[in-house]
Structure 1
Amino acid sequence: MKKKTFVLGASLKSERYSNIAINRLVNYNHEVVAFGLREGTVAGIKIDTNLMPYKDVHTVTLYLNSERQKAFYDYIISLQPERVVFNPGTENPEFQNLLKQNNIFFEEACTLVLLGTNQY
């Protein structure tokens, strides 16, 4: 089953992990939506600079540090994703507690590793 994934903290810079993740997700045929500071396209995916009312998001994968995540707590919870992936460097106990309270599964993992080991 392919999982619609929202990449939060998407970058146009090819060396950034969020950029690599978008490319890999597309290669694995997952539907991808993305939000970042700069508008552009990565692997055919438009990076939105405004928060959109995405529907049927299975996974939110985070590429923002814990401080920058705060502005997105309510928005992410409103999407009611199946899970939130805290990639290395994005761990956030405060947000994880909010996700628990809203019955949203989360894991501290690397999207790239999950994809590469067929655990996504």
Structure 2
Amino acid sequence: MRKKTLLLGASENPSRYSNIAIRRLINSNIDVVAIGNRKGEVEGVIIETDLKHFQDIDTVTLYLNPQRQKQYYDYVLSLSPNRVIFNPGTENMEFVKLLHDNNIDVEVACTLVLLSTNQY
């Protein structure tokens, strides 16, 4: 089974890092699901606005500022991902502690850099 990534904070705007990340994940043959403020689509990935209970999420990568993350704490925990990536500008020690307390790995890193250096 291939690993699946949930991208939180997705955007249809091609200049947004979340949009670029979706395209790079797809190009790296990583299954992607996405949630954003507005419904949309990027390279065939539907951007959902509802908190769907996706199955088999390995990684959650965050493109939301810390204040906007609070509403997703319980949701992310319910998915039981193996890790959560805090991209630049999303660092949130409160959420990091909550994830650690639930035995979920945390990376403070850039998804785009991890992909380009084959460390994803």
TM-score, normalising length: structure 1: 0.98
**C-alpha distance in structure 1 between counterparts of 2:68 and 2:38, whole Å:** 16
**Count, aligned residues:** 120
**Deviation >6 Å, runs of 4+:** none
Q: Give CA-to-partner distance per residue, 1:66-110, whole Å, 9 cap, x none.
A: 000000000001100000000000000000000010000001000
**C-alpha distance in structure 1 between counterparts of 2:85 and 2:50, whole Å:** 21
Q: Give CA-to-partner distance per residue, 1:38-90, whole Å, 9 cap, x none.
A: 11110110000111010100000000000000000000011000000000000
Q: Does 1:46 align with 2:46?
A: yes
CA contact (8 A) 2:39 2:46 kept: yes
Q: Could you list the runs of 5+ residues in structure 2 that have no partner in the other structure?
A: none
2:60 alignment counterpart:
60
CA contact (8 A) 2:3 2:56 kept: no
Q: Which amino acid aligns with 2:25?
A: L
**C-alpha distance in structure 2 between counterparts of 1:41 and 1:79, whole Å:** 22
Q: Could you list the runs of 5+ residues in structure 1 that have no partner in the other structure?
A: none
Q: Which amino acid aligns with 2:82?
A: E
Q: Does 1:83 align with 2:83?
A: yes
Q: How far did 1:2 drift? A: 4.2
**C-alpha distance in structure 2 between counterparts of 1:89 and 1:3, whole Å:** 25
Report the 3-state secondary structure (helix = DSSP H, G, I; strand = E; otherwise coil) of the residue aligned with 2:94: helix
1:37 alignment counterpart:
37
Q: How far did 1:3 drift? A: 2.3
TM-score, normalising length: structure 2: 0.98
**C-alpha distance in structure 1 between counterparts of 2:98 and 2:112, whole Å:** 25
